[in-house]
Structure 1
Amino acid sequence: MIVFGTDGWRAVIADGFTFDNVRRVSAAIGVAARTLEPPKNIDRNALVVGYDRRFLSREFAEVVAGTLRASGYRVILSSAPTPSQTIAFTAAHRKILGGVIVTASHNPAKYNGIKFKAWYGGSALPETYKAIGDALGKSAAREGGSIAEEDLLDDYVDALRAQIDVAKIRRAKLAILHDPIHGAAAQLPSRVLGIDYIGSARIIRRNIEPLEQTIVDGIRGDINPAFGGVNPEPIPENLVAARNVMLTGEYDLALCNDGDADRLGVLDERADFVSPHKIISLLALYLVREKRMQGDIVKTFSTTRLIERVAKALGARLHETPIGFKYVADLMLSRNILIGGEESGGIGFGHFIPERDGVLSGLLVAECVAHAGLPLSTIVARMENEFGQLHYDRRDIHSPMDANTRLIERVQAGDLDDAFGRDFTTREEKDGVKMNFADGSWILFRKSGTEPIIRIYCESPSAARVHEMLARAMAELA
């Protein structure tokens, strides 16, 4: 069965994700795309197709392109693996109807998937995916289709250069480690900065031979459809390779991306993981205070309250959305949004495109460090001294769906109000159920509607309380 989630369709390769099913989905996209109503200056007969570095992604993309050509579209097929946001950018930059990217993003290697990006430079809206789902089994052959293969990265790289201060980063004499986890971001930071790519870590010995300019060295930049045995998601358990390099003390920071490069993970000079919560807050401060930019700030329901404190100090309007970057992107299409982000490492900037961009957000972190002339850990510490320190963790628990539903119902009914301490204050149900406490702590319960998984998120001024609350939540589930 082909089911579309909030950002496309994914399935296990050779099980649900087969060439026949890719043809079916591509034909449905060809039908559904004819029903879209873009502005008059958009070319309704052109689509762009890209792919990541997963097993057979190029071959699946060729099937997508061929199917769309048979539906009468002029198809621009990427000549090389690209980040998801490159396809979104290309659609917006060239004013064409949209694009398709073959990727399963940060999911395990056995998966692949298809996402649709629209002319405005962001993910398809839920109604578009519904139209694609409704069109499964249909096709609409037309004359006039074609396929032209092009390098899509040149325009995207040029656009990224316009968003950052390349000269400032280059002259800061930073040693930056880039870990794309074998994904589509490989070599891109070097390319944007105009710095020779070194595909391995090295012994720098800056105390003996100082750097003449910033360097960007890469690890895990080769194509490996198994992603070296880890999931291509830039979270601590998947960044052991980068952390081991950072522990040598040779590098100032590590920028890490997921499989399709729309998420960011960061390690500081001490090899400590800097959570996306802190990165979003740090970038908001940098963009407003140092780059003198303005706009609203967006956070999702599971993202830190640190950003609320930052937004208040900056005098910026804060919006909170349900979980999922599509809700952030919706606001970017209708409001002046400076920055929006989610706890999973997806960060976007309204002045660029309404889409997550792990490459751009990483380069902005590097620019922030270059501007401050301080270690990243010091910059983060100064932010926490000003706004307070918050600790965060989450658990993704595989549990029967009926057990997950019962736990959610108990939280909604107030049965657990005293289970996490007697300072319970309020309950929110924007996306799942969040319990708030007087000391600023909160715990959020959110079950999947399609899988036997419940996700429990927690934040508190006390690291010990985060651990205790999550342990109690898991005990209540058991």
Structure 2
Amino acid sequence: MIKFGTGGFRAIIGDEFTKANLELLAQGLVHKMQDEHVENTPLIIGYDRRFLSDIGAQWISSVFAGNDIHVQFIDIEAPTPLIMFVVKKTGAKYGMAITASHNPAEYNGVKVFTEGGRDATKEVTNDLEGYISKVSEDQIRRMDFDEALKEGLVEVIEPMNDYIDSILSVIDIEKIKSKHVKVLLDPMFGVSKTSLQTILLTCRCDVDVINDRHDALFGGRLPSPSAKTLSRLSNMVVEGGYDLGIGTDGDADRIGLIDSEGTFIHPNDILVLLYYYLVKYKGWKGDCVRNIATTHLLDRLAESFGQKCYEVPVGFKWISEKMDETGAIIGGESSGGLTVKGHISGKDGIYAAALLVEMTCAIGKPLNAILKEIKDTYGHCEMSEYDCRFSQEKKDQLNELLFTEQKLPEFDEAVEKVSYMDGCKVYFKNGGWIICRFSGTEPLIRIFCEMENYTRAVEITDTMREFLGL
């Protein structure tokens, strides 16, 4: 059974990520499009650098071509935000990216996008799961990929220039040019190099790149930007005298940042920095959106600007929906994904990186100085994070304890309220909080805790971890 999580369908290669399952998924979406009478619109499809991503895109395209549905095929290793941009620009009803984003190398998957270039909502993916479950092998229609190319049912498109130009059109290029910024880029063996390097070079930045070769094992690291995975970037930024180090995850929809002193800037702080910049320095006005496991410092910032910060479940589709509903100008999550109003309705690490470079040039201060200015004004919030893999038996135990019995440890902080909107989140009266939730993309339970300092956050995390027997 193909199931969609918070970031699409993801599975271990050779286990559930197979040709047979991709063909089922494709035929299910074909039937959905036919019932919605949109089968005369093209499907946009692209892929990243993971093992079988390019071939998987061809398998899916062959099924659409076999059902006489036109496919626009991005035949380069494409960032996920580029694919979303094409869905939006062409007015397509559906698009797909063959990627498992930041998951370990043994995973691959499929992200589904809908009209406007946005992540498919839970309602859409639930509906699609229903269609897939009803597909039988004899219903799957295929056309050889090369034959589909000859017949014109698969059309190769080259949208990279349009995507790059769309970002350059909203960045203050002249402001960046005047500062001669020196940047070290780490694509983490993923797909951001061409687009991000081109954007930065156009802005006359001095750009060097590491970890840019094609390596389906991602150099043995998790392709997710964190203090640990970007340690080499951090060291090289200091040694090389760079102004900034930028890391992007496997499909370039998430960003990691290293300041000139080699310090990892937490994604929470990236979101705070950009909202601060957009409102205080660029004169924008509007609310912001964060997921339930993201810093509450954003709430304080919004309140000081006379705006509101909205809290939504984990999964970027919830952020996009709330931004559309409220007109918010920025939305993001503590894992490094964010979007800004006027661009695509999904995460884009490439656009975020360009905007951050603009910010440092416009304000004329190092990132750490800007961040200190914010926290000295609005208060310090530091986050502790803990992940633990589990067996099905352990998951059942944790579900019973947390969500059926709704038991909690005895915290040495006064509790204000508890929410079960997405996982179990405890709000403390001092403004801190802790959340436990199951990952929607991997067999992990995740604990996030934010308090006034890191030591206190770790103490509260340990209290929850020991209570859960982790």
Could you state the TM-score of these two structures normalised by the residue count of structure 2?
0.91
Structure 1 residue 327 displacement after superposition? 0.4
2:274 matches 1:283:
yes
Q: 1:116 is aligned with what amino acid?
A: V
CA contact (8 A) 2:183 2:246 kept: yes
Residues 52, 131 of structure 1: alpha-carbon distance in 2 compared, 3 angstrom cutoff? same
CA contact (8 A) 1:44 1:97 kept: no
CA contact (8 A) 1:348 1:356 kept: yes
Q: Which residue pairs with 1:436 in the alignment? A: 427
Structure 1: distance between partners of 2:142 and 2:220: 43
Q: Which of 40, 45, 63 is residue 49 of structure 1 equivalent to? A: 45
Structure 1 residue 28 displacement after superposition? 1.4
Structure 1 residue 219 displacement after superposition? 0.8
Q: Which of 397, 404, 408 is residue 403 of structure 1 equivalent to? A: 397
2:6 matches 1:10:
no
Structure 1: distance between partners of 2:415 and 2:126: 40
Q: Which of 290, 293, 300 is residue 309 of structure 1 equivalent to? A: 300
Cα deviation 1:298-357 (Å, max 9, x = unaligned): 011111110001101112222111111110111233331200001111101221121111
Structure 1 residue 229 displacement after superposition? 0.3
Structure 1: distance between partners of 2:217 and 2:419: 40
Moved more, 121-130 or 302-311: 121-130
Residues 312, 154 of structure 1: alpha-carbon distance in 2 compared, 3 angstrom cutoff? same
Residues 449, 106 of structure 1: alpha-carbon distance in 2 compared, 3 angstrom cutoff? closer
Q: Which residue pairs with 1:292 in the alignment? A: 283
Moved more, 395-404 or 59-68: 395-404
Structure 2: distance between partners of 1:391 and 1:58: 40
Across the aligned residues of Structure 1 and Structure 2, the Cα RMSD in angstroms comes to 2.2
CA contact (8 A) 2:23 2:140 kept: no
Residues 410, 395 of structure 1: alpha-carbon distance in 2 compared, 3 angstrom cutoff? farther
2:129 matches 1:133:
yes
Could you state the TM-score of these two structures normalised by the residue count of structure 1?
0.90
SS at match of 1:426: strand
CA contact (8 A) 1:404 1:454 kept: no
Q: Which of 172, 176, 180 is residue 173 of structure 1 equivalent to? A: 180
SS at match of 1:271: coil
Q: Which residue pairs with 2:147 in the alignment? A: none
CA contact (8 A) 1:88 1:98 kept: no
CA contact (8 A) 2:187 2:248 kept: yes
Q: Which residue pairs with 2:406 in the alignment? A: 412
Structure 2: distance between partners of 1:461 and 1:442: 10
Q: Which residue pairs with 1:59 in the alignment? A: 55
Q: Which residue pairs with 1:219 in the alignment? A: 210
Structure 2: distance between partners of 1:114 and 1:80: 16
Structure 1: distance between partners of 2:450 and 2:4: 31
Q: 5+ unaligned residues in a row in structure 2: which ranges?
A: 144-150
Moved more, 84-93 or 137-146: 137-146
Q: Which residue pairs with 2:248 in the alignment? A: 257
Q: 5+ unaligned residues in a row in structure 1: which ranges?
A: 197-212
2:330 matches 1:323:
no
2:203 matches 1:193:
no
Q: Which of 91, 95, 117 is residue 91 of structure 2 equivalent to? A: 95
Residues 232, 307 of structure 1: alpha-carbon distance in 2 compared, 3 angstrom cutoff? same
Cα deviation 1:87-132 (Å, max 9, x = unaligned): 1110110112221111010001111111111121101122221232
Moved more, 244-253 or 349-358: 244-253
SS at match of 2:86: helix
Residue identity (%): 32
Moved more, 437-446 or 170-179: 437-446
Structure 1 residue 370 displacement after superposition? 0.7
Residues 125, 422 of structure 1: alpha-carbon distance in 2 compared, 3 angstrom cutoff? closer
Residues 405, 28 of structure 1: alpha-carbon distance in 2 compared, 3 angstrom cutoff? same
Flag the structure with higher helix content.
2
